[in-house]
Chains A and B, each alone.
Chain A
Amino acid sequence: MSQLIPLIAFAVFLVVGYISGSITERRHFASLREREADTRDMVVITFPTPPSDWTLHDPTLVCGSVVISLDYFKRFLAGLKTLVGGRITPYEPLLDRARREALMRMKQTARARGYATVINVRLETSCLSRASSEKSVAGVEVLAFGTAVNRGS
């Protein structure tokens, strides 16, 4: 019986991870869609030189960042999938969420300071490992940054 305990704990972790992970993911995507619709009027571009008929002033750097982690179930699934190779599907929505959230926060920072345009936007992704064990990934960090500018004469 006592040998079964780790196995049961593992099964519980998987189930808890699966349930809470899918709920968090669904909620996050819903909130992202809502906030993205809300900031659709903002102009966010990735090139440094906007159309020449724009007059820009008051440039300032704005950043947005987020650290997101996978749940236990998806991490286990990803571990299995790396054995066979190919698409590691559990990681794809994670990175998508992290990037969109970082961009969202950058836009919100810009908006809070009264800007509606952000130029030269860059995205950077890095992996955080846990201090306790080298192998396990604690999460991904995405940083979005750009130059907020005011348009108009």
Chain B
Amino acid sequence: MIVSNTETLPGHTITEFYGVVTGSTVRAKHIGRDFMAGLKNMVGGELKGYTELLQEAREEALSRMKAQAESMGANAVVNVRFSTSSISQGAAELFAYGTAVRVI
């Protein structure tokens, strides 16, 4: 499965379009991470716990998107975008979407 955020795939030709595929996950941070982040909020610097949390969540969203594309019979997803929205206090949705295509 090739994933790219460009409209065309360099070195490949798109032969078929399958439409939009999406993948999303809603995550909340747990109390331990929030406590550490509270400390870091005082001294400044990277909030590693949150960075990891969001990275994992984004990978999850991407893999769900890829699974959906695969189930359609696509072998690539092009023009992938990300978006983040907060659902409630302390929880956020990470969302990835793109166009499933068949390339040769």
Contact = CB atoms under 8 A, between A and B. Distances in A.
Interface in A90-107: 101
B50 A131 contact: no
A12 B49 CA distance: 25
Contacts of B28: 131
A83 B34 CA distance: 28
B37 A129 contact: no
Given A69-B41, A132-B34, A59 B2 contact: yes
Interface residues of B, number: 39
Given A59-B2, A69-B45, A131 B40 contact: no
Interface string A123-136: 01010111110101
Interface of B: 2-12, 28-29, 34, 37-38, 40-48, 50-51, 54-55, 58, 62, 80, 82-84, 86, 89-90, 92
Interface of A: 13, 16-17, 20-21, 24-25, 28, 48, 55-61, 63, 65-72, 74-75, 101, 119-120, 122, 124, 126, 128-132, 134, 136, 138-139, 141, 143, 145-147, 149
17 contacts: A20-B43, A20-B45, A21-B44, A24-B43, A25-B44, A65-B51, A71-B45, A72-B41, A119-B10, A122-B5, A124-B82, A126-B84, A131-B90, A138-B47, A141-B51, A143-B54, A145-B82
